[in-house]
Structure 1
Amino acid sequence: MPLPLYLLALAVFAMGTSEFMLAGLLPDIASDLDVTVGTAGLLTSAFAVGMIVGAPLMAGLARNWPGRPSLLGFVLVFSAAHAVGAATSSFPVLVATRVAAALANAGFLAVALTTAATLVSPDRKGRALAVLLSGTTVATIAGVPVGSVLGTLLGWRAPFWAVVALCLPAAIGILKGIPVRRTQQDATDGPALRSELAQLQSPRLVLVMLLGALVNAATFASFTFLAPVVTESAGLGELWISVVLVLFGAGSLVGVTVAGRLSDQRPLLVVAVGGPLLLIGWPALAVLAEVPSALLFLVFLQGALSFALGSTLITRVLYEAAEAPTMAGSYATAALNVGAAVGPVIAATTLSTAAGDRGPLWASGLLVAIALLIAFPLRGVIAAGRSSRAFR
């Protein structure tokens, strides 16, 4: 894989740290800003909504801009939003900074996904996506747990300042390592924006976007509220939250790595094997959450399965949107973050039910079940290649 791809992954690491670190900070944020934990969880949804809106918007605006300045600008805006968020004492302002950061993140990721696909041969998009998403999975292994420890020891604002610091080497890496491959003239030689947007009328594309959104909704529904499961259901201390996040992140890295080698040629195998296991895993975690050893094992396993399945489906989005070269990344980003927005909202509603802290885990199982019910009769659409043209 080319070096510029790893430099993009470095920036994704900084952004992934920000997106996921809230899972370990919600109780402190809620206490400090005088809101409930469920309300604080809406920060995750606010970020995701910004990503959903920002992905096509920013990609559309940036499609005629040179790639390197676009990526650099998005990283700098992302950093500035976190500096404001770290300094505020107002929950509405914090929400606004999350939306602003999400818009920048969305623009970056949409351009980065498209750039990553152009850095490799057409049949290696899955491998390229796996490298790019490794920035996110490493964030869950290293950045997020460190953020959780910083939050525990120094308060929730410290991780926000840490993200600001992480953006500096990411910006330097983009400036020094990403080649300027696209000029305005190059972009105008490609398909018109209207033609690229018209690809959203493809049932195949919409289907894989929907499946990716459902699986990611299941992931974020539980991940956002893991902290209460660790401290309440399992009865472990706050520092164990970091351990659980590390295990989830380690699993996600394994899942993305394995799926990256299969998603180009054998995506149906990943879905057929990983989907049912993921479906069983969330209810199993809900039932066994009070047993620390089972909790630790299942968190690792669910991280691996969630990211293996999710990354495979998002790779299919890139394949199905191949005729929208500058917007394909935004479609993949939007699919991911529709799930990231909906999942925590659904999960928050379960916290006040009899299921309590384990409600989000049951909600994740339901979301995966819906995804598999949709996918099973249309499994030919998920298969590699574009042979099922009749579906269009």
Structure 2
Amino acid sequence: MQVKRNETKAIAVGNMWIGGEHPVSIQSMTNTRTEDVEATVGQILALEEAGCQIVRVAVPTPEAARAIGAIKRRIHIPLVADIHFDHTLAILSVEQGADKIRINPGNLGGTDRLQAVVEACRGRGIPIRVGVNSGSLERELLARHGGPTPEALVESAWMKVRQIEDMGYDRMVVSIKSSDVMLSIRSYRLAAERMDYPLHLGITEAGTLSSGTVKSAVGLGVLLAEGVGNTIRVSLTGDPVEEVHVARQILQALDLAPRGVEIISCPTCGRTRIDLVSIAEEVERRTAHLKKTMKVAVMGCVVNGPGEAREADLGIAGGDGMGILFKKGKLLRKVKEEELVDALMEEILKEQDRVDR
């Protein structure tokens, strides 16, 4: 059953919409030097291929801001400029064609500087992402609330939102980040009750691929299952393409995105006589870009494989140097182990072609 999303405004970011009735979108951030246009464009194109819908780049220097125009001309998804401390970099990024500006209004150095950024964004209709982080809360809020509590985080975000509203602008997306999963969950819940701006979900500094995936899946999964959140970024230490893969799987598990090819595979046991781990990883990699919803099984033995995975559209099960290819639990043919993946991919692509025609 589809979860009802929390009601928010809808905000356009380039050719994408965040909030309202629009689907939850996937974001990521490059880890290249933004000044290196070739490297940054190459990474963004890889992110696009993985399913990223909005991408953010760090803008710590004027050279990085000036690179935005060249980068935008060669990519196909909205580009967000991430700004800290120097408001002139935000204005330069707007002039270069950034589709959204990410700022923490509290670290720009004063109301006049924030006003200048707001005016620049208003002039081009560019939304502002108001970011609040548990590690950079105002001292008075920390003192009043006794630390970085959900109430302190949401109050900080609300103060900044009201400040920009008082400047006559309301095209905003709000993020409230913490590396603490439960603090993030409680904070976003409270924010969803108190404001109607789209929420950008994330567990900041979540960690490596393994630990970061778990923390993000738990934190984002709980909120999304409750209808809270309009766009997500999974923060992982490593290749940002992995962030997109994890984000897609979180949304697919909650029926918030088309599933594409879903791989089911057994955990292996003493009956396994093939390199199931490598085979499952290869199948997952080779099917990641496919759009048709399909369940594909990669099983470790022919004894239980087809039976346990009879609901799979297609599957393979290994033997000792041999394996079988099956469809809906019924045997198609026997295949040599080294040909199993290719044989499976051939059948998968047949199914994909059938839909495309």
With the length of structure 2 as denominator, give the TM-score of the two structures: 0.27
Structure with higher helix content: 1
Higher strand share: 2
- TM-score, normalised to structure 1, is 0.25
